[in-house]
Chains A and B, each alone.
Chain A
């Protein structure tokens, strides 16, 4: 016996039920056994149907069981098996053509579904009509992996259908009233959702199909999604799909549907508000167009990395045509840097995005991105752009990042920023005008900037930094003068230095050069306790400040060890500060190799303005 794959076992059961009902009065029990029913999708083995007819007033009872074996199409896994049992404690026939199954139970491994079913068949002018009402109460189900499971689900399903020239016209309503369902990756904590649709079922033609018209999914608190679809039943593929949703509430939509889909992205821990409209079209099983509109949407990262407020956006996309995206927002922040209102526009051409210019106001300046080009290739973004940062006041910048307050400006001009396969590289310089001098960062490159262990490499050049401003900003005993510095081959892993070649020294030229007693102590303590103690013991401790001719310190960081040197070498060590005039002071360093962690602790101890340097 060959069983049509498009009909459920329930149909089979009903078939038996109807076929034997007329003859049932004469016998007390019917027992049917079938060896196996084969279909491309599964095999049902050892089918047994018992139909018991106890004496009145008890109702007939039904018990059906089988061993189901699903055929795995990929053949990668072993076929899964399941023992299935279906029973009705009471079968009634209140009217002609109306059958009821009371206290029904579908029982299988990991499925327990108590139900009641009312089933009516009629024949109107030669057209068969059916209607069914299925009530599920307290249903528990799960697949073997636990990735699709429900608990205490209560739902009502009603179905009405009639056949007209070989095509079934149907309408159905599913009302999910209570219970929780996990359908990986989605989790629905409660019921309150409804789905209704009508359509046609054509199983007899050469191209069997199921169409859904006027389908509507009503998601509790979120809103309604309307659509229509056509499924080809010969290969179970979605041929066409049109979805339209207006005024979806983003606040409940995000945790319900968006967060699970964005799990592995930067957008996986958001708080959203506002409304969205969404349209999508699938043609021949492939997306052909969509449009997402955001109205007054707020997006805030719960990890505090970014936020955008009052977003209005129109994001259309079509497979065959180029479309223009428009977006605006009133404000927000990126890594705590305040963003001003912006109006953005870009072209979206299938999997590529281009924009001539995007202007993002930041604090009192703006980041101008131009010649932006991005493409989604092999599941990865690749992009390049030009960036120009018009000057931002360092006072606001440092305050926004909770750094010590700095004066000056930061500006950048980067002719080319390229990002490809997790690698970000720049061609050009970032310029900081701070401490009355210049800092230039060049050859800036990053690997996996958003990953767990981002790597950064760069070269830094500092010229004529005002030591007075610098030492005041970092609470490091006062020094008057100017400082040059070069930090080459800088490598940061997870924002911590792992390697660099740094040289700092007083700038060439003539300008006042004075160093305070406190700064002398601090510098000395960087190189170890010995030098500082020597100053403290000598008569020099009575002077508040000294003149110097030159100062400088270098550190070559390798394997967590800083190899230190000064402006010149002496038999005992190296000179960090070379004095001039009277009283002249010379600060020597003795330790050439200092552990990086130890050095950081020393600097922190010094720059922590509340703590006096510890000098033994």
Chain B
């Protein structure tokens, strides 16, 4: 009797643990035409964004997006185009997280994909770029 109970417990435990294990196995490098077109679009835009990361105008947010950190680092004439760049980049990033989760066959993994990417962007960021750590902006 005790043995049976123990084995049920073990199965329950295994089931409970299975979910986090499964999400850890998400393939972030998965490729589909949608993902590659999103990556291309982001790659092209990065040329325009790089200077604004370096100047501190734009920073990386904790939810894997980008945001205006210091608009005053951008000349007035360019401020709206930087706003548009941010909106377009965030559109792509949100779509990318969704596509990667779907391509893994688990649309519900979107949040984990997002938070993994958020850490990755910060790791890949160059020194001097700004990112959100908790609620505060930090210079790398």
Question: Shortest beta-carbon distance, A500 to chain B, in Å?
Answer: 13
Hey, what's the 0/1 contact readout for B9-34 against A, CB within 8 Å counting as 1?
00000000000000000000000111
19 contacts between A and B (CB under 8 A): A145-B71, A146-B68, A146-B72, A149-B71, A149-B72, A149-B76, A149-B79, A151-B76, A180-B77, A187-B77, A187-B80, A260-B80, A452-B41, A452-B91, A453-B95, A455-B34, A494-B33, A496-B33, A498-B33
Looking at B41, B70, B83, the one whose CB has the most chain A CB atoms below 10 A away is B83
Question: Shortest beta-carbon distance, A153 to chain B, in Å?
Answer: 11
What class of interface size applies to chain A in its complex with B? 20 to 34
- Which residue in A184, A189, A453 is a CB contact (below 8 Å) of B83? A184
Given contacts A146-B70, A187-B80, 8 further A-B contacts (CB under 8 A): A142-B72, A146-B68, A149-B72, A185-B80, A187-B79, A493-B32, A496-B33, A498-B32
Q: Across the two chains, which residue of chain A brings its CB closest to B72?
A: A146
Q: Which of B75-100 contact A (CB under 8 A)?
A: 76-77, 79-80, 83-84, 87, 91-92, 95, 99
The 10 closest A-B pairs by CB, nearest first: A146-B71, A453-B34, A493-B33, A182-B76, A494-B37, A496-B33, A146-B72, A182-B79, A493-B34, A494-B33
Question: Shortest beta-carbon distance, A497 to chain B, in Å?
Answer: 8
Question: Shortest beta-carbon distance, B16 to chain A, in Å?
Answer: 32
Q: Across the two chains, which residue of chain B brings its CB closest to A494?
A: B37
- In the complex, the answer to whether B84 meets A187 with C-beta atoms within 8 Å is no
A575 to B99, CA, bound (A): 39
Does more than half of chain B's interface fall in helix, strand or loop, or is it mixed?
Answer: helix
- In the complex, the answer to whether B38 meets A453 with C-beta atoms within 8 Å is yes
B74 within 8 A of A: yes
Q: Across the two chains, which residue of chain B brings its CB closest to A495?
A: B33
CB-defined contacts of B79 to chain A, threshold 8 Å: 146-147, 149, 182, 184, 187
Q: Across the two chains, which residue of chain A brings its CB closest to B84?
A: A263
With A185-B80, A260-B80 already in contact, the answer to whether A146 and B34 are too (CB < 8 A) is no
Hey, what's the 0/1 contact readout for A274-312 against B, CB within 8 Å counting as 1?
000000000000000000000000000000000000000
CB-defined contacts of A496 to chain B, threshold 8 Å: 33
A181 within 8 A of B: yes
How many B residues, CB 8 Å from partner? 22
A264 within 8 A of B: yes
Question: Shortest beta-carbon distance, A116 to chain B, in Å?
Answer: 25
CB-defined contacts of B74 to chain A, threshold 8 Å: 146
- Which residue in B34, B70, B80 is a CB contact (below 8 Å) of A184? B80
Question: Shortest beta-carbon distance, B71 to chain A, in Å?
Answer: 3
CB-defined contacts of A453 to chain B, threshold 8 Å: 33-34, 37-38, 95, 99
With A146-B68, A264-B87, A494-B33 already in contact, the answer to whether A452 and B95 are too (CB < 8 A) is yes
Q: Across the two chains, which residue of chain B brings its CB closest to A150?
A: B76
CB-defined contacts of A494 to chain B, threshold 8 Å: 33-34, 37
CB-defined contacts of B68 to chain A, threshold 8 Å: 145-146
Q: Across the two chains, which residue of chain A brings its CB closest to B71?
A: A146
With A182-B76, A185-B80 already in contact, the answer to whether A452 and B32 are too (CB < 8 A) is no
Hey, what's the 0/1 contact readout for A135-155 against B, CB within 8 Å counting as 1?
000000010011101110000
CB-defined contacts of A182 to chain B, threshold 8 Å: 76-77, 79-80
A461 to B87, CA, bound (A): 41
CB-defined contacts of A186 to chain B, threshold 8 Å: 80
A146 to B32, CA, bound (A): 39
